[in-house]
Amino acid sequence: VNSWWNSLTEGQRTVTGIIAANVFIFCLWRLPGMRRIMFTYFTSDPSSKALCSPMLLSTFSHFSLFHMAANMYVLWSFSSSVVSLLGCEQFIAVYLSAGVISTFVSYVAKMATGKFEPSLGASGAIMTVLAAVCTKMPEAKLAIIFLPMFTFTAGNALKAIIAFDTAGLALGWRFFDHAAHLGGALFGM
């Protein structure tokens, strides 16, 4: 374990704790006795009695394994770049702030549309990380994990993601929390 830990970059070591927290909270969702607490404090919903703490706690909460794995893969992939840009302490501060800010933007959109579905996940905070890297390194080459033969610049990736989430928000698509994604991306830029 020690040699593995020492082989990690500073960014990877920094996000290991975030990933561990996400895995722990994912496991809590599997305990039937925890369901009420999880829905109250680990999902963001502007109509909930608990308004503030879920804005942060929902950032570490995933109900499906695929959702968590995808988010943590992106976080892990961009961790070295973003920690080298910001430093360890600043990254943690930005990541936690991004979770709250993206959830707040989601709350505003839900209040404006009257759609009060609860949401959860690290996507808004991860969009901040992604947007920060794409803004600082717009010419960096990126690829999609299952389609590595197709590459594109980070700048173009960010534009495409913002366009997709803007369309999703405007058209009322409900699969993703597009408002949280946009809030996170704007915070990262």
42, 119 contact by CB (below 8 A):
no
Strand, coil or helix: what is 31? coil
123 carries an active-site annotation: yes
Report how far apart the first and last C-alpha atoms of the chain are (Å, whole number): 36
Q: Please report, for residues 4, 5, 23, 73, the alpha-carbon distance to residue 1 in angstroms, rounded to integers and kept in the order given.
A: 5, 6, 19, 20
Query: Is 181 in the active site?
Result: yes
The catalytic residue among 44, 119, 178, 181 is 181
Q: Which one from 80, 81, 123, 178 is the annotated catalytic residue?
A: 123
Determine the 3-state secondary structure of 30 from DSSP. Answer: coil
Residues with Cβ within 8 Å of residue 114, at least 6 apart in sequence: none
Active site residues: 123, 181
